[in-house]
Structure 1
Amino acid sequence: MLKQRLLTVAVILPLFLAMLFLAPNAVWGAALVVAITVAAFEWARLAGWPPVGRTVFAAVVAASCAALLILSVLMPEALFDRRLLFPLCLLATLFWILLAPAALHFQWRLRRPLTASVAGWLVLVPTWLAAMVLQREPVLLLLLLGGVWIADTAAYFAGRRFGNHKLAPRISPGKTVEGLIGAYLAVLIYAVVVLRVFRPEAEFTAYLALLVFGCILTSLSVEGDLLESWFKRQAGAKDSGDLLPGHGGMLDRIDSLTATMPFAVLFFAGALAR
């Protein structure tokens, strides 16, 4: 399993970095459409839809992203316009702040196709848009990915070493309160180091703002992971798919990013939007 995971990373990571730094925004966006379409198909499968329903939902998500991609080709600055960027990312962020916690707390099930469709669209399409916009600042995107990875890794190791209190035993038995605390601490340290390296002249308010961002980022990252875990538990599935050997499906890799990236775009809007 470990060998498979490392081999997959060895293949995917160089391609990802090359696309992020070298590919035109339209090419980057086209690749993201493919990834999001796969994730949409996996979402529909976890919702228990028949093959036709999965295909229709994936096609709707793909068409939505493709329409935005065509718009960005015809009008290169369109996606960076606050009038388009803010509403979509805000809707996604509100979903994760208001609806997703309720879904986890009350353990709502994806029984109704319309509910599952709207939720899936709100999760996936704004993630595509956020990734498109963040390519304008590739280092910022890498730092965001680093923060999510550190939160996940710190939660795992802190949970293994100190974990005694289950965070969500009916949804993800392996996650613990101690692991979550470890994730918060690790991300806060990471945020301080990042600001110290990239903006050594930063004032106290900048540190405070980034620490608040780090706390919210960690909460959303864990929430994204938990929500997908809940959907997989409903479906009786270990992974969302088997596309990535050793890593599961596309949703398994981007679950935390779907919750964090739209919020990051809102937070760093001054550097990204027009």
Structure 2
Amino acid sequence: MLKMRIITALLLLPVVLAAIFYLPQMGSSGALAWIAFCGLIMVAASWEWQRLSGMQGVIAKIYPLLTAVVFTLLSQLIYAPSALLGLMLGASVFWLIVTPCWLSKKWKLANAANLNVLLGWALLLPAGLALVVLRTAGPWALLAVLAIAWVADSAAYFFGKAFGKHKLAPLISPGKSWEGAAGGLLGVLVYAFFLPKNLFFHGELLSLGVWLAIAAVLTAVSVMGDLLESLFKRQIGMKDSSRLLPGHGGVLDRVDSLLAILPVAAAIYLSSLLF
């Protein structure tokens, strides 16, 4: 399993990095290539979502195609930053307020049936659009945001292995501990401390305290994104969202934290541009 995880990572990482750094920026010829790349991720994730959420019938079969169409249409909001900010703020409210309630109440996806079409879009589309938004700040800025999830996950894993004693959410994800979550937060705070602030518009004008506060918020929502997907899988009895990525499970298994981090980061970024 470890060998397969490494092979898959070695194959995927160059593709992702090449797309981030070498596909044309918005506003240039060929810029649709980046939107198409993000759209492919949305299609794969939406295919897994219709399985995970228990959709039935024709709607389940055409859901990935519908997602691609809706994502393509919404990508035009990149030219309407105020509307896009509203969408990102709405997604941020979901992750900061609705998700903790969901995790507490453990609402079941199956109860919503095909209405999960809308919930899936609420989870996936803001994150996909955030990929488009944040790349306008530059490829290094986008990579810096993506790295938050990787730093948080890695630090949480090692701290949890070394010190984990108190379960974070035993009924949802028994392997996670409060010590691991604290380690993830510490890792991201250290990362944010050393991160070049001029990667982001007006970033150098923000105090260190503000940067660390943003890092803490993004770490918190990353944990909630991880836990929410774990809850969905546990409710339906699935170990992985799919087997699309050998050794890693599915696309949703790899981007669960980013689904939460990306819209919140995009909301902060757009706010700095508009206000």
Give the TM-score normalised by structure 1: 0.90
Aligned CA distance change for structure 1 residues 158 and 28 (closer, same or farther; 3 Å): same
Amino acid at match of 1:127: A
Matched, 1:46 2:52: yes
Contact 1:85-1:273 within 8 A present in 2 as well: no
Aligned to 2:8: 8
Aligned to 1:227: 228
Tell me the secondary structure at the aligned position of residue 268 of structure 1.
helix
Contact 1:80-1:133 within 8 A present in 2 as well: no
Amino acid at match of 1:49: M
Contact 2:140-2:199 within 8 A present in 1 as well: no
Amino acid at match of 1:40: S
- Partners in 1 of 2:91 and 2:195 — Cα distance? 26
Aligned to 1:113: 113
Aligned CA distance change for structure 1 residues 185 and 67 (closer, same or farther; 3 Å): same
Query: What does the per-residue CA deviation read over 1:106-164, in whole Å, with 9 as the maximum and x for residues that have no partner?
Result: 11101213542222111111111100111222111111111110101111111111111
- Partners in 1 of 2:180 and 2:237 — Cα distance? 25
What are the equivalent positions in structure 2 for 1:62-211 lying under 5 Å apart?
62-69=68-75, 71=76, 78-110=77-109, 111-113=111-113, 115-136=115-136, 137-195=138-196, 205-211=206-212
Matched, 1:27 2:26: no
Query: What does the per-residue CA deviation read over 1:153-212, in whole Å, with 9 as the maximum and x for residues that have no partner?
Result: 11111111111110000000000001111111111111101147979x957x52111100
Aligned CA distance change for structure 1 residues 273 and 54 (closer, same or farther; 3 Å): farther
Question: Please, which moves more after superposition, 190-199 or 219-228?
Answer: 190-199
Tell me the secondary structure at the aligned position of residue 245 of structure 1.
coil
Aligned to 1:75: none
Tell me the secondary structure at the aligned position of residue 112 of structure 1.
helix
Deviation at 1:68, TM superposition (A): 3.0
Deviation at 1:270, TM superposition (A): 5.5
Question: Please, which moves more after superposition, 113-122 or 16-25?
Answer: 113-122
Aligned CA distance change for structure 1 residues 45 and 87 (closer, same or farther; 3 Å): same
Contact 2:48-2:241 within 8 A present in 1 as well: yes
Q: How many residues align?
A: 265
- Partners in 2 of 1:83 and 1:147 — Cα distance? 26
Amino acid at match of 1:88: L
Unaligned runs of 5+ residues in structure 2 are 25-30
Unaligned runs of 5+ residues in structure 1 are 72-77
Aligned to 1:265: 266
Query: What does the per-residue CA deviation read over 1:81-103, in whole Å, with 9 as the maximum and x for residues that have no partner?
Result: 32221111111111111111111
Contact 1:265-1:272 within 8 A present in 2 as well: no
Amino acid at match of 1:57: Y
Contact 1:152-1:183 within 8 A present in 2 as well: yes
Contact 1:8-1:246 within 8 A present in 2 as well: yes
Across the aligned residues of Structure 1 and Structure 2, the Cα RMSD in angstroms comes to: 2.1
- Partners in 1 of 2:119 and 2:169 — Cα distance? 21
- Partners in 1 of 2:135 and 2:274 — Cα distance? 12
Matched, 1:58 2:59: no
Give the TM-score normalised by structure 2: 0.90
Aligned to 2:28: none
- Partners in 2 of 1:145 and 1:139 — Cα distance? 10
- Percent identical among aligned pairs is 41
